[in-house]
Amino acid sequence: MLRQISAGQTSFRLNRPFRISRGTKTAADVVTVEITQGGVIGRGEGVPYARYDETLDSALQEIERARIAIEAGVDRRGLLDLMPAGAGRNAVDCALWDLEAKLAGKSVSELVGWPEPAPVATAMTVGIDTPANMAAAALVLHNVPLLKVKVDDDDPLAALRAVREVAPTPRLIVDPNESWSMQGLADRQAALAGLKVDLLEQPLPAGEDAELEGFAPLVPLAADESGHVWDDIPQIARRYQVINIKLDKTGGLTTAFEVSTAAQQAGLQLMVGCMVSSSLSIAPALVLAQRCAFIDLDGPTWLAADRPHGVKEVEGVMTPAAQGFWGSP
Question: For 257-280, what is each residue's pLDDT tens digit?
Answer: 999 999 999 999 999 999 999 999
The confidence score (pLDDT) of residue 291 equals 94
Q: Pairing mode, if any, of strands 23-37 and 3-20? A: antiparallel
Rounded CA-CA distance 164/167 in Å is 5
The confidence score (pLDDT) of residue 128 equals 94
Classify the phi-psi angles of 159: left when phi > 0, otherwise alpha if psi is within -120 to 50, otherwise beta: alpha
Active site residue 246: yes
CATH entry 3.30.1330.60 includes domain 120-319: no
Q: List, by residue range, all CATH 3.20.20.120 domains of the chain.
A: 120-319
Tens of pLDDT along 100-137? Answer: 999 999 999 999 999 999 999 999 999 999 999 999 99
Smallest CA-to-CA distance from 309 within 290, 289, 299, 324 is with 324
Under a CB-based contact definition with an 8 Å cutoff, are residues 227 and 272 in contact? no
The confidence score (pLDDT) of residue 290 equals 95
Q: Tell me how crowded residue 195 is: count the other CB atoms within 10 A of its CB.
A: 18
pTM of structure: 0.95
Residue environment code for 257-276, b if the CB has 16+ CB neighbours within 10 A, otherwise e = bebbebbeeeebbbbbbbbb
CATH entry 3.40.50.720 includes domain 3-105: no
The confidence score (pLDDT) of residue 228 equals 67
Rounded CA-CA distance 82/70 in Å is 9
Which residues in the chain come in under a pLDDT of 70? 1, 21, 228-230
**DSSP designation for 153:** S
Rounded CA-CA distance 173/326 in Å is 29
Given the residues 106, 150, 249, 312, the one annotated as active site: 150
Q: List, by residue range, all CATH 3.30.390.10 domains of the chain.
A: 3-105
The confidence score (pLDDT) of residue 271 equals 97
The confidence score (pLDDT) of residue 131 equals 97
Given the residues 25, 148, 196, 246, the one annotated as active site: 246
Q: What are the angstrom distances between the C-alpha of 306 and each of 65, 112, 300, 310?
A: 29, 28, 6, 7
Active site residue 25: no
Residue 169 phi/psi, 5-degree rounding, is -100, -30
The confidence score (pLDDT) of residue 227 equals 77
Under a CB-based contact definition with an 8 Å cutoff, are residues 84 and 251 in contact? yes
